[in-house]
Chain A
Amino acid sequence: MSDPQSPRARGAIRRAGSKLARYADASGVVALHLVRGFLEFSETKLGAFVMLLSPKQAKALARRRRERPREGLRWFTAGESALVETLANLIAPSDATGPGAEQMALLGRSAVETVDRLAAGSPCRQALYARGLLALDHLAKDEYKSAFVELSREHQVHLLQCIDRLHHKWSTPTSLTAKIRNRTVILYHKWSGLFPAVEIFPRLVEDVLQAFYTDPVSWVWLDYDGPPMPQGYPDLLDRRWRARAAETQS
């Protein structure tokens, strides 16, 4: 496999991600109906077979459709929102470098709320999230006999790292045989229920980064003085003055 740090590999990953994103964002009423129909279809036995969902997954998805969004959210259920919150705190952690997704709720909208808004606006995202979050939880139960949110942080990080590695492996095949092997493995994991967890991961990272880096918490941490309009940026002298004031305070 090529080095995932190289621009080419990054480009390939981004392209794979943005391909999904392009489909996800090309939403509309028609897409909404299609996806709804598709979700309903996937709950039937035939549908589960066609989509390669395990019966357990299909049943859980059907259950999910009957649930209502959590109070204050538009689309995530209570269980999902807890899981997304945990994931957001892993993807943009609050650590020695500075605050993370956890702190966002203090100043404004929490990470879950932003991701929820993104999901509510796009039926394709909803399909990805519904299946992916479910699969992630199943994976946690298979590996550690516990729900993802209840795992220790080390185990959570370990699981995500595994998923991340799989995603890299599947999205950047190096040869034709690798491509064929990947396809077969993916087909198998669609049945085993692992694939949706890998499928959702790049989208989840993208959404959480979007939420975190368009929030005052990260702006203060990075010392970015936007938004650019309507005034442009304050004068450089003013900035230096602010920096000096901050220094004297500390």
Chain B
Amino acid sequence: MNLPPHKQTTDVVVIGCGAGGGVIAKELGEAGLSVVVLEAGRRYDPTTDYHTDTVDFEMRAKTVFAPDDDRRDRYTLPRGDSFAYSRVKGVGGSTLHYRAISPRLHESDFRVRSEDGVADDWPISYQDLEPFYTQVEYELGVSGPDGAQANPFDPPRSKPYPTPPHAFNCASKVVKRGADRLGLHMVRDPLAIPTKAWNGRPACIGAGTCHLGCSIAAKSSIDVTYVLKAQATGRVDIRPGCMAREITVGPDGKARSVIYFDAAGREQEISARAIVAAGNAVETPRLLLLSTSSRFPDGLANSSGLVGKYFTEHLGVFAYGLFSERLDPWRGAPSGGLIQDYYATNARNNFARGWTIVVTNSSHWPLSVAQRVPGWGTEHKARTKQLFAHFTGVASIGEQLPDVRNHVTLDPIVKDNLGLPVPHLVNRVHANDQAMITAISVRLKELLEAAGAIEIWGNEHGPGESAHYLGTCRMGTNPSTSVVDPWCRAHDVPNLFIGDGSVLVTCGSVNPALTISALATRTAEGIGTAFRRRDL
């Protein structure tokens, strides 16, 4: 029996409820608009879903964000490539899983072409985004260092960090020892984990389970911050388990409706005056490419042919050091500080742009350490004992230059659990990236050596492992070289907006969540203004 879908209308449909979509939903709800948010994943309840309080927490908690049906998160790669695409689907998106590192982009990141002659300039400047950065930081209660401890490379700020910084744990102090010896400025990284009670949420207790989900909701993931506020307006309807399949276009050339599968797998259609795509830099181009029509045969808003192009991630090189002293790296927030001395382009390098170094104190619990060690039996046990509590890691967040050869397309054969073509990902490192990776490895080794590591391993580039995917619907003023305008409105479709990391022109070398939220806040303001002016 095929019943015609129930006719639904609303002011704005937001597709995806992560660092971008969740923010837009709250801002528009507060501006008085009716908003429906379609989120492909489920809703997580911190108090009951995150099993980090039992002896077998490492077994139980690690699968909490895994899909019920494996086919949901399928993707394909070119033969021979190894690119690990990881993300969390759920209300809150990948912020459910993130370590809440929230630095801002630097001023130079917006002027890459004019400063270094590579990639492209952004159509907006740091100053345009600064008020929105501040707004998001205060919403999330970002903790960060000020005064003498402040990061000397931080861009100018209009207000200090809302809450004081976290303390360095043992492992971070050891790395800082090395940084000090080399004359590097290791500072406490800004974390979206308040160190004092913030907006009704408790202060961080340093359990270090950030990426398994924070059961006391001290970590400012979008679901316990923006989404709650959005729902409090009474005008925002969050719909988990709803996977958008297509955005349809009306005869006037405007986006008319979204067709989606609801939580029961039934096809539904909802029409709206404005539509915001905020999946992520893979899901958003996938949806646009799926939305073909006679007007847009190559995919919605794709007259430039650039939807899905310039697929960028951060260059993550991971190195580990074994130390003779006990470090207990599992205490406190898992991200243990950052170094930005290598951030800016250095004329002496054979490549442009730079990177941030972060200390990663995550997953140092007994089972995680044991699983790092290959083998079994007595040797395995001895090595586990040797490593446990005595090693820590440093990782890079390097700027991969956007390259048109790196892209997201639809796989012609493989389908997901709903029968939709899965994304096909091509992301390879090119000359500039490779040169940077080589330099990063040298610097990471140098840092661990200076810190007194007695053994160093890893120090390899992990393709895709940064989990920061950006740049597939880039922003710009020229409709032939970009997909969206400086307000993240599609050049081709006046009521279609993009509210996620796809719009980033270059990726900078910092964790992107804060930037995505700040851009989303700005986009929401643009949408609100357009509604008030009756543009939409």
B439 within 8 A of A: no
B114: shortest Cβ distance to chain A, in Å?
39
Complexed CA–CA distance, A25 and B454 (Å): 39
Question: Which residues does chain B contribute within 8 Å of A208, judged by CB atoms?
Answer: 376
Question: Which residues does chain B contribute within 8 Å of A112, judged by CB atoms?
Answer: none
| Residues B313-372 near A (CB distance < 8 A) | 328, 330-331, 365-367, 369-371
**B366 x A224 contact (CB < 8 A):** yes
Q: Which of B209, B367, B374 contacts A228 (CB 8 A)?
A: B209
Chain B residue nearest to A216 in the complex (CB):
B55
A231 within 8 A of B: yes
Q: Which of A26, A219, A222 contacts B385 (CB 8 A)?
A: A222
**B388 x A224 contact (CB < 8 A):** yes
| Residues B439-462 near A (CB distance < 8 A) | 457-458, 460
Chain A residue nearest to B218 in the complex (CB):
A232
Chain A residue nearest to B388 in the complex (CB):
A222
Q: Interface majority SS on B: helix, strand, loop or mixed?
A: loop
Question: Which residues does chain A contribute within 8 Å of B366, judged by CB atoms?
Answer: 213-214, 218-219, 222, 224, 226
Question: Which residues does chain A contribute within 8 Å of B385, judged by CB atoms?
Answer: 97-98, 221-222
Q: How many inter-chain residue pairs (CB < 8 Å) link A and B?
A: 122
Question: Which residues does chain A contribute within 8 Å of B50, judged by CB atoms?
Answer: 229
Stretch at the interface among A56-64, A86-94, A141-149: A86-94
Question: Which residues does chain B contribute within 8 Å of A226, judged by CB atoms?
Answer: 55, 57, 330, 365-366
**A209 x B370 contact (CB < 8 A):** yes
Question: Which residues does chain A contribute within 8 Å of B376, judged by CB atoms?
Answer: 90-92, 160, 164, 205, 208-209
Question: Which residues does chain B contribute within 8 Å of A236, judged by CB atoms?
Answer: 331
A37 within 8 A of B: no
The interface bits of chain A over 227-238 (1 if a CB of B lies within 8 angstroms of the residue's CB, else 0) are 111111100100
B273: shortest Cβ distance to chain A, in Å?
41
Bin the interface of chain A by size. Answer: 35 or more
Stretch at the interface among B128-136, B200-208, B238-246, B510-518: B200-208
B56 within 8 A of A: yes
Question: Which residues does chain A contribute within 8 Å of B76, judged by CB atoms?
Answer: none
Question: Which residues does chain A contribute within 8 Å of B331, judged by CB atoms?
Answer: 233, 236
Known: A22-B70, A214-B367, A224-B366. A231 touches B205 (CB 8 A): yes
B59 within 8 A of A: yes
Complexed CA–CA distance, A92 and B370 (Å): 11
A129: shortest Cβ distance to chain B, in Å?
17
Chain A residue nearest to B460 in the complex (CB):
A7
Complexed CA–CA distance, A209 and B368 (Å): 10
Question: Which residues does chain B contribute within 8 Å of A98, judged by CB atoms?
Answer: 381, 385
Question: Which residues does chain A contribute within 8 Å of B458, judged by CB atoms?
Answer: 7
B382 within 8 A of A: yes
B226: shortest Cβ distance to chain A, in Å?
24
Known: A4-B374, A22-B70, A93-B378. A214 touches B56 (CB 8 A): yes
A185 within 8 A of B: no
**A213 x B208 contact (CB < 8 A):** no
Known: A7-B458, A210-B367. A228 touches B389 (CB 8 A): no
Q: Which of A26, A95, A219, A231 contacts B381 (CB 8 A)?
A: A95
B512: shortest Cβ distance to chain A, in Å?
26
Complexed CA–CA distance, A210 and B371 (Å): 9
**Residue among B371, B375, B376, B380 with the highest chain A CB neighbour number at 10 A:** B376
Complexed CA–CA distance, A157 and B50 (Å): 39
B281: shortest Cβ distance to chain A, in Å?
24
Complexed CA–CA distance, A8 and B53 (Å): 33
Question: Which residues does chain A contribute within 8 Å of B205, judged by CB atoms?
Answer: 231-232
User: Can you sample 5 A-B contacts with CB below 8 Å?
Assistant: A26-B69, A208-B376, A224-B366, A226-B55, A230-B216
Binding site for B on A (CB under 8 A): 4-5, 7-8, 10, 13, 22, 25-26, 90-93, 95, 97-98, 100, 108, 157, 160, 164, 205-206, 208-210, 212-216, 218-219, 221-224, 226-233, 236, 239
Given contacts A26-B70, A98-B385, 5 further A-B contacts (CB under 8 A): A5-B374, A91-B380, A214-B55, A222-B366, A229-B57
